Amino acid sequence: MSDDTVYLGIDLGTSRTSITSSTGVRETVWSYVGYPKDHVAKKKLGGRDIIYGKEAVENRMALRLHRPLAGGSIKKKGASDDDETKRAVRDLLEYVVALAKAPKGSTIYAVIGAPAEASVEGKANIIEAASSCIDSSIVCSEPFSVAYGLDFLDDTLVIDIGAGTTDLCRVHGTMPEPDDQRTHEVAGDSIDSTLAKLIKDAHPEAQFSINMVRAFKEKGSSVSTKMDDVTVTMPVKGKPTEFDITELVYQACYTMVPPTVAALQDLIATYDPEFQEKMRGNILLGGGGSQIKGLGRAIEEALNEYGGGNVTTVEEPQYAGSNGALSIALDMPEEYWKEFSGAEAEAPASEAAE
């Protein structure tokens, strides 16, 4: 590793973006970018042209708020991004890279995690956005970066649960091919929407926002049959009122299990039959959604009819993706960085895994 080169691992998430750097920095920010609506908003916000992360959400009434990694080309094949979304992705990346505090004049190389089935256009947009603040960028599969960082490279199934998508990847000693990856959209945002509908149906008198629902979920998310009670406060005609939403939280969170198990079984069934049993016994669960209590156990129970399975939950879901991306960056030969400089790139199929 060159003394004047800074290596970055970046996990671009719909809800949160994490960065781990060779300088020892580790940071997570909410994946929101806001632009003041008018001169009054700009004055209120101290004259700043761009507001980031949690602060942007808290001041959203004064901002044109963007969640640029939600639902665009990075997440969905066939989707396109308008100019303001592309600008927001670029501004978010510039902000996150600045958090690494790279010495002035340093060469910056970065591996950036993207959803397992991100479109070609989406990956190209990431590279284009990164070119304003990174000298050379490589895009890799988010679930693969999790496996790489934890050295789970031998016949492993990785589940990476984010806000916008749940990405699954079959890892077998090399960079994954398209056939090794699956994505479905039952993830954090979907759980929030389902919980909001369940609350509305069960308690039509209650008033709430989607941000409140997200906080309720994060407070008590569980698919355990012995989950703790989830009691929340919502206004009813302006009066704060307590509600028990334990069962509703369980139902919303459990919607994650069937499509995830179906995708796992598909990845297992299309693998070499000699190694299918080994792969079922080596499932790695990561991403923010892995913090749903009892989720690993619920997936194991649902896999029983297919021959069983063993699920290991990562200990540090917030940084597992960015840590793994940094590991790939540090292991990548110098000649590849030079080759990828200014070009669209995915990590090569074998060198990073060797």
* Mean pLDDT (whole number) for 6-28: 93
Residue 269: CB atoms within 10 Å: 10
Read off the pLDDT of residues 112-164 as tens digits, 9 standing for 90 and up.
988 766 667 778 888 889 999 999 999 988 888 999 999 888 889 999 998 88
Measured at the CA of 257, the angle between CA 54 and CA 77, to 5 degrees, comes to 65
Mean pLDDT for the chain overall: 88
Q: How far apart are CA 17 and CA 93, in angstroms?
A: 9
- Reported confidence tier of residue 348, pLDDT bands at 50, 70, 90: very low
In a domain, 326, yes or no: yes
CATH of the domain at 89: 3.30.420.40
Whether 11 and 141 share a structural domain = yes
Which of 21, 40, 66 delimits the end of a domain? Answer: 66
In a domain, 306, yes or no: no
Whether 194 and 246 share a structural domain = yes
Whether 84 and 124 share a structural domain = yes
* Mean pLDDT (whole number) for 245-271: 95
Does the pLDDT at position 352 exceed 60?
Answer: no
Whether 133 and 196 share a structural domain = no
* Mean pLDDT (whole number) for 283-290: 92
Confirm if 186 and 166 have CB atoms less than 8 A apart: yes
- Reported confidence tier of residue 328, pLDDT bands at 50, 70, 90: very high
Whether 118 and 215 share a structural domain = no
* Mean pLDDT (whole number) for 93-116: 91
In a domain, 201, yes or no: yes
pLDDT of residue 343: 47
Confirm if 171 and 152 have CB atoms less than 8 A apart: yes
Whether 18 and 59 share a structural domain = no
**pTM of the entire structure?**
0.82
Whether 210 and 99 share a structural domain = no
Q: How far apart are CA 104 and CA 21, in angstroms?
A: 15
The tally of domains found in the chain comes to 3
Read off the pLDDT of residues 201-238 as tens digits, 9 standing for 90 and up.
999 999 999 989 999 999 899 999 889 999 999 999 99
Confirm if 221 and 253 have CB atoms less than 8 A apart: yes
Which of 45, 66, 87 delimits the end of a domain? Answer: 66
Whether 207 and 226 share a structural domain = yes
In a domain, 19, yes or no: yes
Whether 18 and 141 share a structural domain = yes
Cβ neighbours for 323, distance < 8 A, ≥ 6 positions apart: 9, 20, 149, 316
In a domain, 204, yes or no: yes
Which of 254, 269, 297 delimits the end of a domain? Answer: 254
Whether 144 and 9 share a structural domain = yes
Full domain range(s) for residue 51: 32-66
Look at residues 175, 142, 69, 130 and name the one whose alpha carbon lies nearest to residue 340.
130
In a domain, 226, yes or no: yes
pLDDT of residue 120: 72
Whether 23 and 38 share a structural domain = no
Whether 38 and 124 share a structural domain = no
In a domain, 50, yes or no: yes
In a domain, 156, yes or no: no
Cβ neighbours for 232, distance < 8 A, ≥ 6 positions apart: 212, 216, 219, 242, 243, 245
